[in-house]
Structure 1
Amino acid sequence: MRYVVVCGEDVGGAPVPPSAFPGEQPLFVVRHPRERARLERQGAQVVVGDLDREAVYRRAFRSGKEPVLVAVPGCREATVVKTIRRVAPAAPLFVLADDGVNGRTPGVTRISRTELVARVLAPAIARAATRGRVDRVRKHFARAEHVLLMLQDDPDPDAIASALALRVLLGRTRASAPIATFGGIGRAENRAMTRLLEIEVERIPARDVLAYDMVAMVDVQPSFFEERVFSAVDLVIDHHPETVPVRAGLKDIRPSYGATSTILTEYLRAADVKIAPRLATALLYGIKSDTQDLERGATRADVEAFAFLHGLSNHAVLRRIERPELPERAVDLLAQAISRRRLVNGSVFAHLGAVEYPELVAQFADLFLQIHGGEWAVISGVVAGDLHISVRSAGQGRAAGDVVRRAFGALGSAGGHRSMAKAVVPMRTWRARVGHMSAERLRDAIASRFQRAIRSWSHSSAQRSVGSRTLRSWKHSTAARSSVSGTLRTS
Structure 2
Amino acid sequence: MNCLAICNSESVIHLLSAALQGSLNIEFIVNNEALSKKLIAAGVLVHTGDTHKIGTYLNADLDPTTCVLIEDHPLVNTRRTINTIRDAGGSLIYLLDVGHPARTHTRQPPQGIWNTSRLSLTDRLSEILCTELERSITRSRVEQYQRHMADADRVLIVLHNEPDPDALASGLALRTLLHRTKTTAIIGTFQAPTRPENLRMTKILDIQIETLSRKDINKFDRIATVDVQPHYFGGIMSSVDLVIDHHPIRKGYNTAFKDIRPKYGSTCTILTEHLRSVNAKISERTATAMLYAIKSDTLFLSRETNAPDLEAFRFLYPLANTALIGKIEGARTNLERLSYIAQSARTKTVDAPLYTSHLGLLPREDLIPYVADFLLQVEEISWVVVSGILNNNLIISVRNLDPTAHAGEFVNDYFSDIGNAGGHLSMAKAITPVTRFEEKFGASEPNNIHAVTHRLSKQFLQTRSGIETAPG
TM-based fold match above 0.5: yes
Q: Answer whether contact 2:383 2:398 (CA < 8 A) is retained.
A: yes
Q: Answer whether contact 1:18 1:26 (CA < 8 A) is retained.
A: no
What is the alpha-carbon distance in structure 2 between the residues aligned to residue 409 and residue 72 of structure 1?
A: 58
Change beyond 3 A, Cα 1:114–1:383 = same
What is the alpha-carbon distance in structure 2 between the residues aligned to residue 418 and residue 20 of structure 1?
A: 44
* Deviations 1:264-297 (CA, angstroms, capped at 9, x unpaired): 1112222233444433333233334444544554
Shift of 1:358: 1.3
- Equivalence for 2:88: 87
- Equivalence for 1:34: 38
Q: Answer whether contact 2:301 2:310 (CA < 8 A) is retained.
A: yes
Change beyond 3 A, Cα 1:400–1:252 = closer
Shift of 1:160: 2.4
What is the alpha-carbon distance in structure 2 between the residues aligned to residue 409 and residue 461 of structure 1?
A: 17
Change beyond 3 A, Cα 1:169–1:62 = farther
Change beyond 3 A, Cα 1:120–1:368 = closer
- Equivalence for 2:247: 240
The amino acid that maps onto 2:203 is R
2:62 matched to 1:50?
no
* Deviations 1:122-169 (CA, angstroms, capped at 9, x unpaired): 222222333333333434434334332222333333232222222223
Written as runs of structure 1 = structure 2, the 5 A alignment for 1:206-245 is: 206-229=214-237, 231-233=239-241, 235-244=242-251
Q: Answer whether contact 2:393 2:433 (CA < 8 A) is retained.
A: yes
- The secondary structure found in structure 1 opposite 2:16 is coil
Provide TM-score, normalisation by structure 2. 0.78
Shift of 1:361: 1.9
Shift of 1:184: 1.7
Shift of 1:65: 1.2
Shift of 1:357: 1.1
Q: Answer whether contact 2:344 2:358 (CA < 8 A) is retained.
A: no
* Deviations 1:396-445 (CA, angstroms, capped at 9, x unpaired): 645666777899899977776665555556556789986697xxxx3x54
- Equivalence for 1:181: 189
- Equivalence for 2:177: 169
Written as runs of structure 1 = structure 2, the 5 A alignment for 1:83-162 is: 83-97=84-98, 98-101=100-103, 102=106, 103-104=109-110, 105-162=113-170
Shift of 1:91: 2.0
Q: Answer whether contact 2:62 2:89 (CA < 8 A) is retained.
A: no
What is the alpha-carbon distance in structure 2 between the residues aligned to residue 220 and residue 414 of structure 1?
A: 12
1:260 to 267, 270, 289: 267
* Deviations 1:291-314 (CA, angstroms, capped at 9, x unpaired): 454455444323332333345444
Shift of 1:322: 4.5
Where structure 1 has 5 or more consecutive residues not aligned to the other structure, the ranges are: 41-45, 466-491
Q: Answer whether contact 2:461 2:467 (CA < 8 A) is retained.
A: no
Change beyond 3 A, Cα 1:338–1:255 = closer
What is the alpha-carbon distance in structure 2 between the residues aligned to residue 259 and residue 405 of structure 1?
A: 20
What is the alpha-carbon distance in structure 1 between the residues aligned to residue 424 and residue 249 of structure 2?
A: 18
* Deviations 1:59-102 (CA, angstroms, capped at 9, x unpaired): 43464313233336331261443333332432242413424413
What is the alpha-carbon distance in structure 2 between the residues aligned to residue 278 and residue 77 of structure 1?
A: 58
What is the alpha-carbon distance in structure 2 between the residues aligned to residue 5 and residue 400 of structure 1?
A: 54
What is the alpha-carbon distance in structure 1 between the residues aligned to residue 455 and residue 462 of structure 2?
A: 11
* Deviations 1:49-68 (CA, angstroms, capped at 9, x unpaired): 11514344334346431323
1:334 to 309, 326, 340: 340
Q: Answer whether contact 1:8 1:72 (CA < 8 A) is retained.
A: no
What is the alpha-carbon distance in structure 1 between the residues aligned to residue 409 and residue 178 of structure 2?
A: 42
- The secondary structure found in structure 2 opposite 1:154 is coil
Q: Answer whether contact 2:422 2:430 (CA < 8 A) is retained.
A: yes
- Equivalence for 1:249: 256
What is the alpha-carbon distance in structure 1 between the residues aligned to residue 284 and residue 22 of structure 2?
A: 27
Q: Answer whether contact 1:257 1:302 (CA < 8 A) is retained.
A: yes
The amino acid that maps onto 2:74 is G
What is the alpha-carbon distance in structure 1 between the residues aligned to residue 406 and residue 37 of structure 2?
A: 69
- Equivalence for 1:281: 288
Change beyond 3 A, Cα 1:462–1:350 = closer
What is the alpha-carbon distance in structure 1 between the residues aligned to residue 29 and residue 443 of structure 2?
A: 87
What is the alpha-carbon distance in structure 1 between the residues aligned to residue 421 and residue 219 of structure 2?
A: 36
The more displaced of 425-434 and 316-325 is 425-434
What is the alpha-carbon distance in structure 2 between the residues aligned to residue 144 and residue 96 of structure 1?
A: 53
What is the alpha-carbon distance in structure 2 between the residues aligned to residue 411 and residue 137 of structure 1?
A: 34
Shift of 1:447: 4.5
What is the alpha-carbon distance in structure 2 between the residues aligned to residue 265 and residue 462 of structure 1?
A: 35
What is the alpha-carbon distance in structure 1 between the residues aligned to residue 134 and residue 421 of structure 2?
A: 40
Change beyond 3 A, Cα 1:56–1:207 = farther
Where structure 2 has 5 or more consecutive residues not aligned to the other structure, the ranges are: none
Q: Answer whether contact 1:11 1:71 (CA < 8 A) is retained.
A: no
Change beyond 3 A, Cα 1:14–1:56 = farther
Provide TM-score, normalisation by structure 1. 0.75
Identity %: 33
The more displaced of 311-320 and 125-134 is 311-320
- Equivalence for 2:208: 200
The more displaced of 428-437 and 388-397 is 428-437
What is the alpha-carbon distance in structure 1 between the residues aligned to residue 22 and residue 234 of structure 2?
A: 55
What is the alpha-carbon distance in structure 1 between the residues aligned to residue 92 and residue 377 of structure 2?
A: 53
What is the alpha-carbon distance in structure 1 between the residues aligned to residue 257 and residue 165 of structure 2?
A: 23
Change beyond 3 A, Cα 1:152–1:287 = same
